[in-house]
Amino acid sequence: MEINHEYVDVQDALNRIGGSMDLYKKLLNQFMTGNYIDPLEEALNAGEMQEASHLAHTLKGVAGNLSLVMLATDARKLEDDVKNSVDHTNSLAELKSTYSTTSQEISKIL
């Protein structure tokens, strides 16, 4: 199983959770059943910037804790853009693309 470590750093995650691959798979499965992008996009489209910032922050934290490296980075970029009232079009597109690729990488583990 070849996993792109730019997206999912399995060893870092295992170090965080005491080395249990079973636990990591359980956490990744929970992540995969969550819906992170749709509510974020809905908040942005509705102009609810505080909610969008909160959702991006949550995604950044979850992704970081699971060592979903690029996803955490892109969620941070979007959060920063929203907080700074900067056009978020590109950072949202990058986040969605990274989320898709990350999901594919996670599927290789599960």
Q: What is the pLDDT of residues 4-62, one digit of tens each?
A: 678 899 999 999 999 999 999 999 999 999 889 999 999 999 999 999 999 999 999 99
Range of the domain at 83: 10-109
Residues 26/56, Cβ–Cβ less than 8 Å: no
Query: Is residue 54 situated within a structural domain?
Result: yes
Query: Is residue 85 situated within a structural domain?
Result: yes
Amino acid at 41: E
Residues 7/69, Cβ–Cβ less than 8 Å: yes
* pLDDT at residue 5, as a whole number: 74
Query: Is residue 96 situated within a structural domain?
Result: yes
- CATH at residue 34: 1.20.120
Count: domains in the chain: 1
Query: Is residue 26 situated within a structural domain?
Result: yes
Residues 67/12, Cβ–Cβ less than 8 Å: yes
Query: Is residue 1 situated within a structural domain?
Result: no
Angle between helices 37-45 and 49-65 in degrees, nearest 10: 160
